[in-house]
């Protein structure tokens, strides 16, 4: 359906929650190394519960490796610095929803690379710095899926 791309994720429970999200929505989860954890991490396993076997998860050695698998699909990079809202896009099946590492978000060089179709943001209070990675991914995936009538 949709493909979630975490670029260099750092916090195990966020990725565990994304595994659960992918399993429950029929999405794929793609992770770009380096990862801030390994798949034996207890927090990752706990957050993903028993969904690990139900999710399609692919780990890529580099962003270039991920692009070779994911393109030519549209790629939506989520960033607090973007100006266009995530609800202003008509997502097509197979679209890539890309998110950066928890500590810094997507680097500008990635956000502005030619592979990116559009930079998107979720609204939040002006006094806030960022949303949780797993929560942001869930909001984006459910909006894309909603636009398709929650069909699989």
Q: Which tens digit of pLDDT belongs to each residue from 74-94?
A: 999 999 999 999 999 999 999
Region 50-59 average pLDDT? 82
Distance between alpha carbon 77 and the CA centroid of its chain, in Å?
A: 9
The annotation status of 94 as a binding-site residue, yes or no, is no
Q: Token digits for 115? A: 């592979």
- Summarised one tens digit per residue, pLDDT across range 5-52 is 999 999 988 998 999 999 999 999 999 999 988 777 576 666 555 666
**Confidence class of residue 152 from pLDDT cuts 50, 70 and 90?**
confident
CA distance 45 to 39: 8
pLDDT of residue 128: 86
Looking at per-residue confidence, does 49 or 140 come out higher? 140
Q: In the chain, where does DSSP find H-type helix?
A: 12-25, 42-48, 63-70, 108-111, 133-146
Is 79 marked within a binding site? no
For residue 4, is pLDDT > 80? yes
- How many C-alpha atoms does 32 have within 13 Å on its Cβ side? 21
122 is in an annotated binding site: yes
Whole-angstrom Cα distance, residue 108 to residue 106? 6
Task: End-to-end CA distance of the chain: give it in Å, rounded.
Answer: 7
Residue 59's pLDDT band, with cuts at 50, 70 and 90, is: very high
User: Is pLDDT at 68 greater than 80 in this prediction?
Assistant: yes
Query: Does the pLDDT of residue 114 top 70, yes or no?
Result: yes
Please report, for residues 79, 101, 126, 138, the alpha-carbon distance to residue 132 in angstroms, rounded to integers and kept in the order given.
12, 10, 16, 10
Q: What integer pLDDT is reported at residue 53 of this predicted model?
A: 76
* Interval 118-131: pLDDT, tens: 999 999 998 988 88
Q: Which CATH class is domain 3-148?
A: alpha beta
Distance CA 26, CA 6 (A): 16
pTM for the structure as a whole: 0.93
């Amino acid at each position: 359906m949709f493909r979630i791309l975490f670029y260099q994720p750092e916090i195990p429970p966020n990725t565990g929650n994304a595994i659960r999200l992918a399993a429950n929505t029929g999405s794929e989860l793609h992770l770009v190394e380096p990862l801030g954890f390994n798949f034996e991490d207890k927090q990752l396993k706990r957050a993903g519960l028993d969904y690990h076997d139900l999710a399609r998860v692919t780990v890529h050695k580099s962003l270039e490796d991920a692009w070779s698998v994911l393109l030519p699909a549209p790629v939506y990079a989520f960033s607090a610095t973007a100006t266009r809202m995530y609800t202003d896009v008509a997502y097509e099946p197979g679209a890539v929803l890309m998110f950066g590492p928890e500590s810094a978000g997507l680097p500008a060089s990635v956000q502005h690379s030619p592979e990116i179709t559009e930079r998107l943001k979720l609204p939040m209070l002006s006094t806030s710095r960022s949303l949780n990675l797993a929560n942001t991914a869930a909001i984006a995936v459910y909006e894309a899926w909603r636009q398709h009538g929650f069909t699989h």
